[in-house]
Amino acid sequence: MDTKPLSEDGQDISKRFLVDPYENWARGEGIPIHLDFGHNLLALETGRWDRWETTGCFAHTHGRGDFMANYVLEIEPGKKTAEIRHIYESFFYILKGVGSATVEYPNGESRTFEFGPKALFTVPLNCKYRIFNGSGQEPLRLSCTNDAPLVINLFHNEKFVFENGFDFPERLGADGHFEGEGEHLRVNRGDNVAEANLWETNFVNDLTNFKLYSMDARGKGSLNVSFILADSTMHAHSSEIPVGRYKKAHRHAAGTHVHAVSGVGYTLLWYEGDEKFVEIPWEHGFMYTPPFWMFHQHFNTGPSPARYLACSMGSRRYPFIALRRKSAEGKGATSIQEGGRQVEYEDQDDRIHRKWLEAIKERGVSSNMGDVFNEQKILSIPESKLTGRIKTPPSIGPAV
């Protein structure tokens, strides 16, 4: 059945009605487009991407929203990408391999830096750059989280996005920002709100060992740091879950691409009122995006701390949308009982802790959450008697 929109005289007007320039661009690139709740980025099929002179694929998710997306680049041993520039922003997370990148500044100077697995970097807006595989034997695979949907849908002109000669010298950052140097910024967000710790740079050498700071508001022992990368409007943060513990559930706007960096475990996702959870495995290579206003909760089930990287629209410096501004102000770690977006342990679904206790037992890990839960009692309750509900106030909407 032909479902193309037609004008009154029967003419095809599909290019003039309900047009999505980003989706059209993605399909026109001729590489695989994967769509799911989340992906194992290390396992996705790639195809030849002429624009980059390498291989790649789109790793689209159901929860990516209107502004953000992800694609994967894979560079063969000893090869390099084309030199490229674009007016959208992108954060690069190294999934596997070693390599280097050369960034050309507007004044003709260039910066070259080397990286290995689990590094994070960005390229200042619209600078020319090229990525090299530093190994002669192993492929280099990168996860590229970007705001191309926002930019391409806004301007719907491919030449403007990829052949724009305008320079942004204010985005370059300090001289040492491609050498792993940066500036630690502490932000006091007011009474009863945890201090925010920011790190401003262009390049993080290794997310597994980068210094994080206490964020007990999301769960005892939790660590966190937010990144400001090349003065970007996009946000990134890294968090760590200690051994024998898990984080509190929360919800926010769409488009946050969460990458598991280290450790093992899982993430549960659900909408308020759901009887069943969506479960995503937790290990390096997995990436998923919680849809708008969907609760999600991260669990460490292994014998070592678990870290993740989250990339989204709206940085701590430039929140961009109202929901992101509220997050920067601390609402993301404020209880839903107080008008925030976080589910405190005492309010969570009764099944959640029981499921986690059974999961860590299989790995020989002991719980360190006896200070919060009566775990013997929880384990003694028949599963059929556990309530499947979140204790929430009567009216909660996405206004904060």
Give the CATH number of the domain where residue 143 resides. 2.60.120.10
For the segment 136-180, what is each residue's pLDDT rounded down to a tens digit? Answer: 999 999 999 999 999 999 999 999 999 999 999 999 999 999 999
Alpha carbon 150 to its chain's center? 16
CA distance 301 to 246: 8
Which of 345, 363, 379 terminates a domain? The answer is 345
Structure tokens at 252: 């926010």
**Domain count within the chain:** 2
- The answer to whether 147 and 89 are in contact (CB under 8 A) is yes
The pLDDT score that the predictor gives to residue 91 is: 98
- For 303, phi then psi, to 5°, come to -85, 5
The pLDDT score that the predictor gives to residue 4 is: 65
Residues of the chain with pLDDT under 50: 393-400
Asked if 140 and 249 sit in the same domain, the reply is no
**For the whole model, what pTM was predicted?**
0.92
The pLDDT score that the predictor gives to residue 398 is: 44
- The answer to whether 353 and 299 are in contact (CB under 8 A) is no
State the DSSP code for 338: G
State the DSSP code for 180: T
Which of 120, 138, 166 terminates a domain? The answer is 166
Asked if 295 and 337 sit in the same domain, the reply is yes
Q: Residues near 105 by Cβ (< 8 Å), separated by ≥ 6? A: 111, 124, 127, 169, 172
For the segment 71-93, what is each residue's pLDDT rounded down to a tens digit? Answer: 999 999 999 999 999 999 999 99
The pLDDT score that the predictor gives to residue 370 is: 94
The pLDDT score that the predictor gives to residue 49 is: 98
Structure tokens at 249: 């559930």
Asked if 153 and 196 sit in the same domain, the reply is no
Domain that holds residue 106: 21-166
Asked if 111 and 193 sit in the same domain, the reply is no
Asked if 140 and 288 sit in the same domain, the reply is no
The pLDDT score that the predictor gives to residue 192 is: 66
The pLDDT score that the predictor gives to residue 275 is: 87
